Amino acid sequence: MALVTIDATAVGERDRLDFWRSTVCDQFVALDVRPATSGLVAGRVTAASVADTHLRRISSVPHRFERTESQVRAADEDYLQIALARRGRTLVVQDGREALIGPGDFVIYDSSRPFTFVAADSFEYQVCLHPKGRLPLSAAEMAAACGITFDGRRGIGAMLPPLLSSLDRAVADDLPEAGQEAVARTIGDLFVALVRSQVPAESAENLHLSRARAHIRAHLADRDLDPAAVAAACAISVSYLHKLFAAEDTSVAATIREERLQHAWEDLRRPDLGHLGISAIGARWGLPDPAAFSRAFRARFGYSPRDHRSHFNV
């Protein structure tokens, strides 16, 4: 959790721009870094990590930062990110949405899709990069919250600036691994709260799709739950059911699997269910094969059910 500060002005004039560009890409994700000034670039990055969550503070002259489609395809970074503006005004574009952030505002964005930051003024941001696999959020939920201006002075958003400031103060401490994991989980919980505060209600959803989702949620423990069972319960054909879910960029099987894994994820962190074995938690949500449950859980969240439970019982 050591704090590292990198200052571009410490490098000679001839190499400074290349050094600055490589620093930004190394400390964040691969980007096109274009300072607006024609003179020597001045910039500073302060970096620390808490478990596998990365905390950054960056300040510089006006810039354009762009993550392109080719950079996304070539990279293995997969973070949901928050940028909190401390100074200057910046236009952030992702998925066709535009968010204008000034001091006290922040934006959520996704490293697995292209984005652009255009800072017209000298700026300073605090940025948090959290692994998407650690978040019990669907792709649709995350996409719905990206590219939107959040007010860091009101509502749930008001929780973010003091949290990042307190982490700044604590970052130099020699925090043990278990403490780092606890801090990272707190950050992840805030990501979930912020994202779900922006996900639109499904009031306009197709009636058959709503019924299908409700049936799935009510019968997750049934190991025989499959598209045929869902279609029969909703009195529609299996082919029509598949079309409904395909229109939402998902499938019936993927929805069932995601719901089961998310419920298991929640149960494994509940102290009142600590008496249940991990295989019992899987079976509780229709995943009775311990090995298959463990593989699916690791593929979805990036760590095993046992590791996830141990993080909440340190």
- More confident site: 175 or 108: 108
pLDDT given for residue 207 in this prediction: 75
* CA geometry: angle 193, 196, 200, nearest 5 deg: 160
- Residue 81: strand, helix, or coil: strand
| CATH of segment(s) 4-196 | 2.60.120.10
pLDDT given for residue 204 in this prediction: 43
pLDDT given for residue 50 in this prediction: 87
Mean pLDDT of 230-236: 89
Distances, alpha carbon 102 to alpha carbons 115, 119, 152, 254, in Å: 18, 10, 10, 39
Domain boundaries in the chain? 4-196, 207-311
- What is the CATH architecture of 207-311? Orthogonal Bundle (1.10)
Write the CB contacts of 311 (distance below 8 Å, at least 6 apart in sequence): 181, 182, 185, 269
Same fold, 4-196 and 207-311: no
Q: Is 38 exposed, middle or buried (0-12, 13-18, 19+ CB in 10 A)?
A: exposed
Distances, alpha carbon 19 to alpha carbons 11, 75, 82, 158, in Å: 8, 20, 24, 35
Tens of pLDDT, residue by residue over 161-220, are 999 888 876 665 667 777 788 888 889 999 999 998 886 544 445 778 888 988 998 999
Mean pLDDT of 258-267: 92
pLDDT given for residue 200 in this prediction: 57
- In angstroms, how far is CA 241 from the centroid of its own chain? 30
Tens of pLDDT, residue by residue over 116-155, are 999 999 999 999 999 998 888 888 888 889 999 999 999 9
Tens of pLDDT, residue by residue over 59-91, are 999 999 999 999 999 887 789 999 999 999 999
Distances, alpha carbon 115 to alpha carbons 57, 97, 148, 152, 198, in Å: 19, 10, 12, 21, 19
Beta bridge partners of 17: none
pLDDT given for residue 141 in this prediction: 85
Q: Name the token pair of 219.
A: 């019968």
pLDDT given for residue 197 in this prediction: 87
Beta bridge partners of 128: 55, 82
pLDDT given for residue 40 in this prediction: 76
Q: Is the pLDDT of residue 41 over 70?
A: yes
Note if the pTM is more than 0.85. Answer: no
Q: Name the token pair of 264.
A: 């298991």
pLDDT given for residue 195 in this prediction: 92
215 neighbors 230 (Cβ within 8 angstroms): yes
